């Protein structure tokens, strides 16, 4: 009789054997330098969490036009590559694996965060509700500029260059961020993509740019070291779609052809059914995905173990739990108490709420 898969069952992920199935989810912490260069605190933070089967880095901007928040890291220049090289070396020295999450925020930005004279860009000129986080405080979002058709190859090239830089920085792979209301997600959903050219209209057209990006990144890394993140029912950043189930089932069908390392689906939005469009169970995408499936959002040891045992996922990503418990995998293994997270320190600041969470005493 076969043993039940659990959080500590190794998994082959592309060329890597993961030591466990606990994944550290990408977590924006706003603690990089003004120039987007990871520093000493970032090195320590990731080194502390190298016991995860895989770390997915915080969202990392692919270009100056991709920036949407203060103190977020980049991967478009040599100084940033050097900073990330220190992080990846520390993780590897501790026996861990780390992928870089490649990010373009699209319309979720503000002119003060971008090169002088630039507006945020998007598939269409649709202003999101809400406010941007800037260096001078919260500011209303502006109406973005719709990308011209001839600019789209430049977007793809920015992802390709960022993927090359991530390779130079010593990452083990990359995850393309196509979720949470950022640029590639904005192209996927018809609430934000109102184009009438080859990149708008039906789902095959709306998914054209994300697929071109995936192909470019796979051309750098090989598909078995590339993952992608989707958020089918996520209303965050004022997102919606008239048919999320139809949209994302078709997107996953097309992604299957690429033979990726994994599909990472966040279930965020399940607690607000219908906010992002007619609701469906995002876990149903597991039924049509042919590779390694990673789930995310609010899991604890019991619910994650149940999902793995039932075959609803191959990997489970933990966000806040890994933030507050740098040795989460050890605590789970011993059924030890968990540190409580401090939400007041989630975004920005110093070592408090970042590298000072205690490890379990021996």
Catalytic residue annotation? 182
Residue-wise DSSP of 35-88: TS---HHHHHHHHHTTTSSEEEEEEEESSGGG--STT--B-SSHHHHHHHHHHH
Q: Are the beta carbons of 289 and 256 closer than 8 angstroms?
A: yes
Contacts of 151-156 spanning 24+ positions with Cβ under 8 A? 151/121, 152/199, 152/209, 152/212, 155/104, 155/183, 155/209, 155/213, 156/209, 156/212, 156/213, 156/216
261, 53 Cβ separation under 8 angstroms: no
- Residues in the chain, overall count: 362
Residue 328 token pair? 């989460």
Distance CA 243, CA 198 (A): 20
Three-state SS sequence of 127-146 = CCCCEEEECCEEEECCCCEE
Question: With contact defined as beta carbons under 8 Å apart, do 230 and 288 qualify?
Answer: no
Positions of E strands within 135-189: 137-140, 145-146, 173-177
Residue 359, token pair as written in the block: 């490890």
220 is written with which tokens?
């750098």
Enclosing H/E stretch for 249: helix 244-256
Q: What is d(CA 260, CA 207) in angstroms, rounded to the nearest whole number? A: 16
């Amino acid at each position: 009789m076969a043993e039940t898969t659990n959080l500590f069952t190794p998994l082959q992920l592309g060329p890597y054997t993961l030591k466990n199935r606990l994944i550290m989810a990408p977590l924006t912490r706003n603690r990089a330098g003004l120039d987007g260069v990871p520093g000493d605190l970032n090195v320590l933070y990731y080194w502390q969490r190298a016991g995860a089967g895989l770390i997915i880095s915080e969202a990392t901007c692919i270009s100056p036009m991709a920036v949407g928040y203060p103190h977020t890291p980049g991967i478009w220049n040599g100084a940033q590559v050097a900073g990330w090289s220190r992080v990846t070396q520390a993780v590897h020295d501790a026996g861990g694996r780390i992928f870089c999450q490649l990010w373009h925020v699209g319309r979720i930005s503000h002119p003060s965060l971008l090169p002088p004279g630039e507006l945020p860009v998007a598939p269409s000129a649709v202003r999101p509700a809400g406010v941007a986080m800037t260096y001078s405080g919260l500011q209303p979002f502006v109406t973005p500029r719709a990308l011209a058709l001839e600019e789209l190859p430049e977007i793809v090239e920015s992802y390709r260059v960022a993927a090359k830089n991530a390779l130079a920085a010593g990452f083990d792979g990359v995850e393309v961020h196509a979720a949470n209301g950022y640029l590639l997600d904005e192209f996927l959903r018809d609430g934000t993509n109102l184009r009438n050219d080859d990149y708008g209209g039906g789902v095959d057209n709306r998914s054209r740019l994300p697929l071109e990006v995936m192909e470019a990144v796979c051309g750098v890394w090989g598909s078995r070291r590339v993952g992608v993140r989707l958020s089918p029912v996520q209303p965050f950043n004022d997102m919606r779609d008239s048919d999320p189930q139809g949209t994302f089932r078709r997107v996953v069908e097309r992604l299957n052809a690429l033979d990726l390392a994994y599909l990472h689906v966040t279930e965020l939005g399940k607690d607000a059914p219908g906010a992002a469009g007619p609701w469906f169970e995002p876990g149903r995408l597991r039924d049509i995905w042919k590779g390694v499936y990673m789930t995310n959002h609010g899991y604890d040891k019991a619910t994650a173990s149940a999902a793995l045992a039932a075959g609803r996922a191959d990997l489970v990503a933990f966000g806040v739990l890994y933030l507050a418990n740098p040795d989460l995998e050890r605590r789970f293994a011993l059924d030890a108490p968990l540190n409580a997270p401090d939400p007041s320190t989630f975004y920005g600041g110093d070592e408090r709420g970042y590298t000072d969470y205690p490890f379990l005493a021996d």
